[in-house]
């Protein structure tokens, strides 16, 4: 009898296969597809698996990130969700997003790999970004504005 780790690995492998074919509209769609393949899955387990796989929610549904995406591409993909950038001291930046989009934009910032960003915290429509210093903060603002066509 397989243990939980083996079941999780098998479920994640199957989710990866499904997402390579195309985006999944909802987590429930993945639960249904996994069930049809004889795997036990709940919305909660699929949610954890998607997070573990690094999947992102796009307008088309849940997708795996593209292997050839650069840091700038990550930000460009969410540019339409950005509303406002405001410095908050010498090494903090507040980013306002569309309602409900902060987590997605924060993930794109994490995945960007930009060395100027120490980390960020995303809420519902606001992200707090910590940069290494004031120069790095200015560089991040400039780079985001450039990618957003501002």
Residues 75 and 143 in one domain: yes
Q: What is the CATH number of the domain that holds 36?
A: 1.10.10.10
- Is residue 125 within 8 Å of 54, Cβ to Cβ? no
- Is residue 126 within 8 Å of 95, Cβ to Cβ? yes
Residues of the chain under the 70 pLDDT cut: 1-2, 65-70
DSSP-assigned letter for residue 24: B
Helical (H) or strand (E) element with 62: strand 61-63
End-to-end CA distance of the chain: 57
Domain that holds residue 19: 4-63
Residues 59 and 76 in one domain: no
Q: What pLDDT does 66 receive?
A: 61
pLDDT digits (tens, 9 = 90+) for 59-103: 788 887 665 456 788 888 888 999 999 999 999 999 999 999 999
Q: How many CB atoms lie within 10 A of CB 76?
A: 17
Q: What pLDDT does 2 receive?
A: 58
Q: What pLDDT does 68 receive?
A: 47
Residues 141 and 107 in one domain: yes
Residues 56 and 94 in one domain: no
Residues 117 and 143 in one domain: yes
Q: Which one of 23, 45, 63 terminates a domain?
A: 63
Q: What is the CATH number of the domain that holds 111?
A: 3.30.1360.40
Q: How many CB atoms lie within 10 A of CB 92?
A: 15
Number of domains present in the structure of the chain: 2
Q: Where are the alpha helices (DSSP H) in the chain?
A: 4-21, 27-36, 43-53, 71-77, 102-112, 134-147
């Amino acid at each position: 009898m397989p243990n939980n780790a083996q079941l999780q690995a098998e479920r994640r492998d199957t989710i990866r296969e499904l997402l390579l074919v195309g985006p999944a509209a909802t987590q429930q769609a993945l639960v249904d597809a996994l069930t049809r393949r004889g795997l036990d899955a709940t919305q909660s387990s699929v949610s954890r698996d998607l997070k573990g796989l690094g999947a992102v929610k796009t307008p088309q549904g849940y997708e795996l990130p593209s292997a050839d995406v650069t840091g700038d591409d990550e930000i460009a993909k969410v540019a339409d969700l950005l509303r406002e950038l405001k410095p908050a001291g010498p090494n903090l930046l507040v980013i306002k997003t569309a309602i409900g989009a902060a987590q997605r934009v924060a993930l794109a910032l994490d995945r960007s790999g930009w060395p100027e960003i120490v980390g960020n915290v995303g809420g519902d429509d606001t992200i707090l970004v910590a940069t290494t210093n004031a120069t790095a903060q200015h560089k991040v603002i400039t780079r985001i504005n450039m990618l957003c066509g501002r």
